[in-house]
Structure 1
Amino acid sequence: MILQGKVLPAAAAMKNGIIDAVAKGDVVDEAAAFALSKPPNPISKRPVAHADRFYAASGALDQALLMAHNQAPTMVAPASIIACLKAACSTMSFAEGLKVEASEFTKLVFSVQSAALRHLFFAERAAQKVPGVNAKPMPIKKIGILGAGLMGGGIAMCFAQKGVPVILKDAKQEWLDAGMKKISGLWAGQAKKGRMTEDKYKQLMALVTPTLNYEDFKDVDMVIEAVPEIIDLKKQVFLDMENHMRPDAMICTNTSGLDINEIAGVLKDPSRVMGCHFFSPANVMQLLENIQTKHSSELTLSTGMAMGKLIGKKTVMVGNCDGFVGNRMLAPYAGEAKMLWEEGATIEQIDAAAQKFGMAMGPMALGDLVGQELFWKQRKAAGDMAKQTKTYYGPYEVVDFICEQGRFGTKTPDPSIKADGRGLFIHRGRTKEVDPEVLAKMDEVRKAKGVEPRAVSDEEIIERLFFSMINEGMKILEEGFVAKSSDVDIVYLFGYGFPAAKGGPMFFAENYVGFPKILERLKVYNAAAKERFTKIKHYLPVDYFEPSKLLELVAAAQKQGVKAPPGRTLIDVVLKEHRGKSSSPGPFSKL
């Protein structure tokens, strides 16, 4: 409980023997009555006082520390917690034990990890306050969801679990039936595990009404559209919804990167539109990126933020740029992972380095999880297989090779080799191994390009993965597509598995590495990237190592010893001055 920082309700604490009673009325009166009515039971007379506590507990505490390290290898607090518990179990005096606790507490409270966790605590709350958005939100008493697939069904579950009636629409009965079956199965599974009662399961199912008709959206307060990521399809269903909804009802599009200004532009009143980037699976993932368009009204934005809070999401307001915040910053991270592999690092080395840094999984495994085909399909649809955008960078050859064979990752089983999924890896149950055909293809690609594989250090891997990501985050801030640096940190903590101990990419840059070093290393990698572009056949140019103006400014400020006041970051201090002179297009560029 202590290692995980769990909040234990009073009733559960009493059941586990941690406390003796729970007061239902006045605490002082009931405590006095309890003390007078119960016979004395001092600690010295309890069995635990006479046992060899240190001998009995030491092994268990060592095992607990090992488990904590496996779960959160970058956290320093577990070792201090175990040291204090060992002191409590030892033969040292009470006063000596307090000295141990004081020493460990002092060590932790002044650590950069402690500062990182405090930063995230306040950042989470600050994200709810969107500059310039002060309108009273519209109540959401009934919601419509368009699209009963994996994403739409997950979003429907979020609302039903908060007691909000849901109208779930799809275009075909079989799609609707499949969506309802998936929802029912997930809730039934929770009931089977004892996480909800049978009555609760029935109540939740009763809150979701499936339909094939737009007319059933006539009295909803908001519709969240979750159809496939095809912009013409989204524009058409927006027109269809507009004809059947109240004129004051909001329409939101769930997208991971399409131009919401273009989608909203088909409506008579585009001010009622906002983007909602839910993360998959929507009923599990905590992050919600709300996207402000150039048309969105203050009421729309306010209601969108209230909606996120209603369903328990960690909600951040961002601007309408390619990939928004999360996916735009992920693109250089994922692109550099592929480039490092092409240059000579192994897939296993790249993922291991990222996980040692503290990421939930490495970039190569992440590609298999989300689906290798996403940007392959976009490039095919665009008719340009060499296309690069702010949300995806090459090299493409190996990814195209596996996608042409229908191997997209964990979602595509291959019965011929008894694989549960196949992409860069062959997945079997909870284990995976790099596909030998993928390695052979990479050898072929290197020979065709004239690339001689070289040894790559873990340090270079970390710098190229994360410094490129940080630089892109700086550009997003500079362009005004997100209000403050702490919002970026919240996006990466709750949406992409960035380690809490490092406080998010922006906090990490400012407090763990320092902007001058990041700027220096970016210049080195930028020069190397330009050299590759001029020498290597088919090498695609990239701009994510080109230092942002904001990064140059904060690096200069940090080098001069400029300090941010308590509760603020140096990025935001410099950003405030910079934005006053900015002509950037983002909605927060004039703050």
Structure 2
Amino acid sequence: MTTLVNYRVEDGLALIGLARPPVNALGQPLRAAILDACERAAADASVQAIILHGAHGLFCAGADIGEFGSEASFAAPDLPNLLLRLTALDKPLIAAIGTLALGGGLELALACGYRISEPDARLGLPEINLGLLPGAGGTQRLPRLIGVEPALDMMISGQPIGAGRAFELGLLDRLASGKESLLDDARAFARELLDQRAPAQRTSRFANPAESVAADFLSQFRAANEPRWKSRLAPRLVLAAVEAACNLPLAEGLVREHELFKEAEASKQSAALRHVFFAEREAGRIPGIEADIPLRRIEKVAVIGAGTMGGGIAMNFVNAGIPVALLEQKGEALDCGLANIRKNYEISVKRGKLTAAQLEQRMELLFGTLDYADLADADLVIEAVFEKLEIKQQVFRELDRLCKPGAILASNTSSLDVDVIAASTSRPQDVIGLHFFSPANVMRLLEVVRGKATAPDVLATTMKIAKRIGKLPVISGVCFGFIGNRMLEPYSREAHRLVLEGATPTQVDKVLTDLDLNMGVFSMLDLAGIDVNFLVRNSNRAAFAHDESYCRLGDELYAQGRHGQKTGRGFYLYEGRNRQEDYEVVALAERLAGELHVPRRPVGDQEIHDRCLFMLINEGIQLLDEGIALRASDIDLVWINGYGFPAHLGGPLHYAEQLGLDKVLAGIQHYRRTLGGYGEMWFKPAALLERLVAAGRARIEKI
């Protein structure tokens, strides 16, 4: 018997333990081992019932994602047929679920006649996050077990549910008394079933799932959710599979599910989402730094600045149980910052995400102070003060004087030179950039900016603590704007220039949101603040002093006090969050175009797409070539998690690969030729892009 499963028989019970670390992924070897073990138990006359469990506690976290899109995914025994065989066994088969049963792991449990779980286990069908649908019977068996509405919710949300909720729904037959007693309780459950002469498979509660919902439920569900799904394929395929469960016998529904799964698996969207999945795992690997490097202890954190950003940063750490000292210059600002943090937690209490007791526990971890001396024992200090180099340098000089040796000193700058900030201290090896995105307590992305002197253990420690507070850390080198904001500059530049040439902000934004970006350029700038964008741009004015034409529109709006949503006027007019086109902005663009001698003309949607996206992609490729980004997939993660680029397109560089690098290069060269002096100045292809196309490469990587 293969070591992928542990097999033993105890007093008429066959115990089959999945033993493929770390998560019992259901690749072909483990599938074959499960089938062999179950056939062995079925053929053994001394075996009366079978218990399937995780040999090391965890049941199964799902399929082997590395197999998707390859022949191995359906190599015999494929998962759907394995599970069909398990449903045909003539002995009770019990899934004893420890820790997790996700995706194919939950489908494996659904194929068993009975299910028992430890109290803290999580169960779910997250395939939609990979652009897929459950493809081994999940879309057919789950609605028959718990009804259409809760089954559809689990599959569309992709979120796992707790064992208690699963028991309420009927997904579980029993809850074990504890984690350690799971197998003992499973044995006792098996004995009960045998004493009762229970059938090998319990009759489904909803033999006809359609009867669990109103006749128009699925059509109403589609109408309510399709606008939110935009162009995403997977939710529509999940819904089609559930419709099959309502309209077809189980055997025919399984065939239809298989067809829909193959369609999803072959889609570009699923390939993009699988790219993102692996990119997130790769982002934590730091070339040249071993995984076992000793890390610095982080037991107390200090945050300088109690404004919106500083307060949000502080919340991340107290949420993880780490005490935080929050420093402000004035008592009023400190009181306001602490009050805003409490208000944010009170909103979570009202929404049922926190209890009142948890709110107080978190507030007790916060210590407000006006005295730098109170930061002397902090292990990690993060400044979140005004984005001006001289101010940040002064803060770091003070930290250098007061903080203990070995403390990590971090700047939350979004664009400034971390090396220059580090040079204002006597310990540049302890300095790093931690660029949180706003709102810092919500946004998942954290750009970790590695200075030229940053010590390896400082980098490794901050990557570790970032994950502890629930962030996705991506390493960037030092340059203006790092990865995200540096790429934002040419993307935003083309949007502004296109409005001067004859497009409107509404037209530009619509092209981008039709691609499923969360926001267009101008609605994003209005939300972030035109004043904020002006100040960032102004600090880097020398980079484009030779041609400031494109940013004149933003400069004029700033001068007029039109700072976006917060002032009710920016590129758009606002009533609350509702925006409408402002013809004064269109008129202003016409006037500026005349002053700058920019010819105006009708601008097509394809040109908007190509100029904005190709310049965004080009800058990303340049960042990779310069070594600012470690890998192309890191750039994709930054733009997906920080700027709303759709994950089902895989990020801007994966999107470029899907379009074809030769097409991107040809587009850039086209506008370089046709846009006159402006094109010659700005549409310069990245040298790496030219090398990749010349070499016939389809993927973006350094060569």
What CA distance in whole angstroms lies between the structure 1 residues aligned with 2:420 and 2:506? 41
For residue 226 of structure 2, what is the amino acid of its counterpart?
H
Decide whether the 8 Å contact of 1:529 with 1:542 is kept in 2.
no
Which piece of structure 1 moves more, 64-73 or 494-503? 64-73
For residue 144 of structure 1, what is the amino acid of its counterpart?
A
Decide whether the 8 Å contact of 2:209 with 2:245 is kept in 1.
no
Whether 2:268 is the aligned partner of 1:99: answer no
CA change 1:163–1:45 in 2 (3 A) is: closer
Whether 2:175 is the aligned partner of 1:22: answer yes
What CA distance in whole angstroms lies between the structure 2 residues aligned with 1:242 and 1:455? 57
CA change 1:210–1:94 in 2 (3 A) is: same
Decide whether the 8 Å contact of 1:332 with 1:393 is kept in 2.
no
| Cα distance, 1:262 vs structure 2 | 0.6
SS in 1 for 2:449: strand
CA change 1:448–1:201 in 2 (3 A) is: same
| Cα distance, 1:43 vs structure 2 | 7.3
Residue of 152, 161, 166 corresponding to 1:13? 166
Corresponding position of 1:111: 267
* Mapping for residues 13-162 of structure 1, pairs under 5 Å: 13-24=166-177, 25-26=182-183, 28-33=186-191, 35-36=193-194, 46=205, 48-49=206-207, 53=211, 59-90=216-247, 92-134=248-290, 135-162=293-320
| Cα distance, 1:381 vs structure 2 | 6.8
Decide whether the 8 Å contact of 1:344 with 1:455 is kept in 2.
yes
Decide whether the 8 Å contact of 1:65 with 1:78 is kept in 2.
no
CA change 1:448–1:208 in 2 (3 A) is: same
CA change 1:460–1:99 in 2 (3 A) is: same
Corresponding position of 1:303: 461
What CA distance in whole angstroms lies between the structure 1 residues aligned with 2:366 and 2:503? 49
| Cα distance, 1:524 vs structure 2 | 0.7
What CA distance in whole angstroms lies between the structure 2 residues aligned with 1:381 and 1:472? 19
Corresponding position of 1:462: 609
CA change 1:63–1:393 in 2 (3 A) is: farther
Whether 2:333 is the aligned partner of 1:175: answer yes
What CA distance in whole angstroms lies between the structure 2 residues aligned with 1:301 and 1:51? 53
What CA distance in whole angstroms lies between the structure 2 residues aligned with 1:273 and 1:497? 29
* Mapping for residues 288-299 of structure 1, pairs under 5 Å: 288-299=446-457
What CA distance in whole angstroms lies between the structure 1 residues aligned with 2:561 and 2:197? 73
What CA distance in whole angstroms lies between the structure 1 residues aligned with 2:672 and 2:188? 69
Which piece of structure 1 moves more, 16-25 or 92-101? 16-25
SS in 2 for 1:422: coil
For residue 595 of structure 2, what is the amino acid of its counterpart?
A
Residue of 515, 527, 540 corresponding to 2:673? 527
The gaps in structure 1 that reach 5 residues or longer are 413-420, 534-540, 564-569, 579-591
SS in 1 for 2:448: strand
| Cα distance, 1:128 vs structure 2 | 0.7
The CA deviation string for residues 486-506 of structure 1, in whole angstroms up to 9 with x for no partner, is 111111111111111111111
Residue of 683, 686, 691 corresponding to 1:548? 686
Residue of 480, 485, 508 corresponding to 1:350? 508
Decide whether the 8 Å contact of 2:483 with 2:620 is kept in 1.
yes
Equivalent pairs counted in the alignment come to 542
Corresponding position of 1:251: 409
For residue 229 of structure 2, what is the amino acid of its counterpart?
A
CA change 1:213–1:101 in 2 (3 A) is: same
What CA distance in whole angstroms lies between the structure 2 residues aligned with 1:172 and 1:475? 43
Decide whether the 8 Å contact of 1:338 with 1:394 is kept in 2.
no
| Cα distance, 1:39 vs structure 2 | 9.1
What CA distance in whole angstroms lies between the structure 2 residues aligned with 1:226 and 1:67? 41
Corresponding position of 1:241: 399
| Cα distance, 1:94 vs structure 2 | 2.3
Which piece of structure 1 moves more, 25-34 or 547-556? 25-34
Whether 2:556 is the aligned partner of 1:401: answer yes
The CA deviation string for residues 107-157 of structure 1, in whole angstroms up to 9 with x for no partner, is 111222111111111110110111122332212100011111111110000
The CA deviation string for residues 20-55 of structure 1, in whole angstroms up to 9 with x for no partner, is 323441174254245357796987685x4468649x
- Taking structure 1 as the reference length, the TM-score comes to 0.87
Decide whether the 8 Å contact of 2:562 with 2:569 is kept in 1.
yes
Corresponding position of 1:488: 635
Whether 2:286 is the aligned partner of 1:286: answer no
Whether 2:646 is the aligned partner of 1:499: answer yes
CA-based RMSD of the aligned residues comes to 2.4
Which piece of structure 1 moves more, 109-118 or 285-294? 109-118
- Taking structure 2 as the reference length, the TM-score comes to 0.73
What CA distance in whole angstroms lies between the structure 1 residues aligned with 2:610 and 2:223? 28
CA change 1:410–1:39 in 2 (3 A) is: farther
Percent identity between the aligned chains? 38
CA change 1:63–1:311 in 2 (3 A) is: same
What CA distance in whole angstroms lies between the structure 2 residues aligned with 1:206 and 1:547? 54
CA change 1:378–1:111 in 2 (3 A) is: closer
Whether 2:369 is the aligned partner of 1:369: answer no
Whether 2:314 is the aligned partner of 1:314: answer no
What CA distance in whole angstroms lies between the structure 1 residues aligned with 2:240 and 2:665? 39
What CA distance in whole angstroms lies between the structure 1 residues aligned with 2:693 and 2:209? 58
Corresponding position of 1:418: none
